[in-house]
A and B are shown apart, each in its own frame.
Chain A
């Protein structure tokens, strides 16, 4: 037990310490610890108010995306599935771009618009993926996701092209994703929001094992196939929608992390889901550290870093699995 979880915990702790130590002002591990335990330390405001919420938010978002990717890969029995599969990317982007183009200014207006766009897109995809008798046809669901995403993307592109340069840049940066707006308040919102879908998916871990054999065999082995599919679609959609609303579109964590975990400890979801949560969180926090420090004082969108790290990693894994 310890042997299986220890490496993950170590990675997570290193990611958290790095997230707290690195940035515009570089702190030693000692300073970080002092700030954590002593509110009057010189570095306490930086660590406690700026970096800690960013680390916690990174863990929540990265972990949620990785868990969603793992669950959706089992649901559609396709290792290429990622959290944005169900039309989420198009819907979220369109919602956010409309809000930005409309000149919305409130701190929460873009996230809320992105959330609404995401849920609308998923609802449409879900409706298109329903076969006769209210059954979810996972192949139709995949295709509907592609179609809805493409259509929303086209509208979004048109709006961006017709927008003034300043809004164009805002929209573009938002789409690439980042944890720059992290605060204890956004952490609280995301945490409160993520608990139920994550617990639901954890409860369905064994059903996800069965679903990956195909729906017929899953049913014979005791899975209540249609309710399970509905719950997985709704839980992953809501979780991803919240993640996107808070941090924009962060790619590759949800695709790559489940594969890494499967290689290390096999595809059974009772181990896969929690491990994917921890590793996904650590990967996003570390990517965020790179995004903040590599070209400092310029901050890269974290989505660029997860792609730059995730794509080569994925390519290596792919080659290895083919060898």
Chain B
């Protein structure tokens, strides 16, 4: 399964500013592409354009060679699992019910979930370490628990690709690593993943390739070592950084203190 944007530009209704400016990106099965960049650089807009929720004013988005706008929403939901940045829960559904919603695109309007749906939901709950919460109403969960529940729901969609907008926001380091190890396992098993993250070091350790966005344009892309360079990052984030090498050989970014006393 391949999701790609070719020269995609986008703006929001009523705004003249381009939030994406001629962006090319490609995620294929077996790849983990990390999208990084400062606040407001267009990371979330890129996921929206890739998923067809904002129409591009230029360029095209293709999923398996077919324009994303032409994909039926239910077929798309079976192909691509998504964790969006924000979500509401006005009514307290239970965790297992929330994850079952990942199966809705596979169920008829009046069909009750089949044994296989329950099996997939159970597996997703276990993989995301939320099986023990399955009967809890979602409004009683912590931010991190809710995040893992939404990841479980994306897995329950049974997707060929995952698009995850800050999947480890609000997670402690243990659960963050667990989350990325899980994504990494899924990618090794043949899923493709596009992951937006603010955590450069985690992205560096797990991603097949990185895409660095800056004001809607691609500032750098490629292997972690080619993107996470002090000159590029200092320029894009407007803050000096040093880059060292982690034990596994991947670059590790350390933002520096600014001040007269130096570093």
Docked CA distance A217–B88 (Å)? 9
B90 engages A205 (CB within 8 Å): no
Total count of chain B residues near the partner, CB < 8 A: 32
Stretch at the interface among B23-31, B99-107, B180-188, B241-249: B99-107
Stretch at the interface among A170-178, A185-193, A221-229, A248-256: A221-229
Docked CA distance A210–B88 (Å)? 10
Q: Is A133 an interface residue (CB 8 A)?
A: yes
Docked CA distance A220–B104 (Å)? 11
Stretch at the interface among B35-43, B72-80, B122-130: B72-80
Q: 8 Å CB contacts to B: which residues of A229-288? A: 262, 266-268, 270
A203 engages B93 (CB within 8 Å): no
Measured between beta carbons, the chain A residues less than 8 angstroms from B78 are 222
Measured between beta carbons, the chain A residues less than 8 angstroms from B86 are 214, 216
Docked CA distance A223–B75 (Å)? 10
Q: How far is the CB of B256 from chain A (nearest CB, A)?
A: 37
Docked CA distance A270–B113 (Å)? 12
B109 engages A204 (CB within 8 Å): yes
B88 engages A222 (CB within 8 Å): no
Partner of A210, one of B48, B51, B101: B101
A266 engages B88 (CB within 8 Å): no
Q: If A222-B73, A222-B78, A223-B73 touch, does A212 touch B90 (CB 8 Å cutoff)?
A: yes
Q: How far is the CB of A210 from chain B (nearest CB, A)?
A: 6
Docked CA distance A133–B157 (Å)? 29
B157 engages A221 (CB within 8 Å): yes
Partner of A203, one of B84, B102, B110, B153: B110
Partner of B87, one of A78, A203, A217: A217
Q: Is A153 an interface residue (CB 8 A)?
A: no
Q: 8 Å CB contacts to B: which residues of A199-218? A: 202-206, 209-210, 212-214, 216-217
Q: How far is the CB of B190 from chain A (nearest CB, A)?
A: 21
Docked CA distance A221–B105 (Å)? 7
Q: If A206-B109, A221-B77, A221-B157 touch, does A212 touch B101 (CB 8 Å cutoff)?
A: no
**Listed residue (B51, B107, B109) with the most chain A CB atoms within 10 angstroms of its CB:** B109
Q: If A220-B82, A222-B76, A222-B105 touch, does A133 touch B13 (CB 8 Å cutoff)?
A: yes
Docked CA distance A213–B154 (Å)? 14
Measured between beta carbons, the chain B residues less than 8 angstroms from A209 are 93, 101, 104
Q: 8 Å CB contacts to B: which residues of A58-90? A: 73-74, 77-79
Q: Is B115 an interface residue (CB 8 A)?
A: no
B90 engages A222 (CB within 8 Å): no
Measured between beta carbons, the chain B residues less than 8 angstroms from A268 are 93, 97
Q: If A209-B104, A221-B157 touch, does A78 touch B73 (CB 8 Å cutoff)?
A: no
Q: Is A131 an interface residue (CB 8 A)?
A: yes
Q: Is B174 an interface residue (CB 8 A)?
A: no
A206 engages B13 (CB within 8 Å): no
Q: Is A132 an interface residue (CB 8 A)?
A: yes
Instruction: State which size class the interface on A falls in.
Output: 20 to 34
Measured between beta carbons, the chain A residues less than 8 angstroms from B84 are 216-217, 220
Docked CA distance A210–B97 (Å)? 11
Q: Is B118 an interface residue (CB 8 A)?
A: no
Q: How far is the CB of B163 from chain A (nearest CB, A)?
A: 8
Docked CA distance A86–B15 (Å)? 29
B104 engages A212 (CB within 8 Å): no
Q: From B98, which residue of chain A is reached at the shortest CB distance?
A: A213
Q: From A77, which residue of chain B is reached at the shortest CB distance?
A: B90
B14 engages A132 (CB within 8 Å): yes
Docked CA distance A74–B101 (Å)? 15
Partner of B73, one of A204, A219, A270: A219
Partner of A267, one of B93, B104, B105, B157: B93
Q: From A223, which residue of chain B is reached at the shortest CB distance?
A: B73
Q: From B102, which residue of chain A is reached at the shortest CB distance?
A: A221
B109 engages A213 (CB within 8 Å): no
Q: If A217-B84, A221-B157 touch, does A266 touch B93 (CB 8 Å cutoff)?
A: yes
B110 engages A213 (CB within 8 Å): no
Q: How far is the CB of A292 from chain B (nearest CB, A)?
A: 35
Docked CA distance A308–B212 (Å)? 61
A222 engages B77 (CB within 8 Å): yes
Measured between beta carbons, the chain B residues less than 8 angstroms from A204 are 109
Docked CA distance A178–B153 (Å)? 46
Q: How far is the CB of B75 from chain A (nearest CB, A)?
A: 8
Q: How far is the CB of A294 from chain B (nearest CB, A)?
A: 35
Q: 8 Å CB contacts to A: which residues of B205-237? A: none
Q: Is B140 an interface residue (CB 8 A)?
A: no
Q: A213-B89, A221-B102, A222-B77 are in contact. List 17 more A-B contacts (CB 8 A).
A: A77-B88, A77-B90, A78-B90, A79-B91, A206-B104, A214-B87, A216-B86, A216-B87, A217-B84, A220-B51, A220-B82, A221-B82, A222-B74, A222-B78, A222-B105, A266-B97, A267-B92
- Hey, which bits of chain B sit against chain A, CB under 8 A? 13-14, 48, 51, 53, 73-74, 76-78, 80, 82, 84, 86-94, 97, 101-102, 104-105, 107, 109-110, 153, 157
- Hey, which bits of chain A sit against chain B, CB under 8 A? 73-74, 77-79, 131-133, 202-206, 209-210, 212-214, 216-217, 219-225, 262, 266-268, 270
A/B interface sample: 11 pairs, CB < 8 A: A203-B110, A212-B89, A213-B88, A214-B88, A216-B48, A219-B73, A220-B82, A221-B153, A222-B76, A224-B73, A262-B91
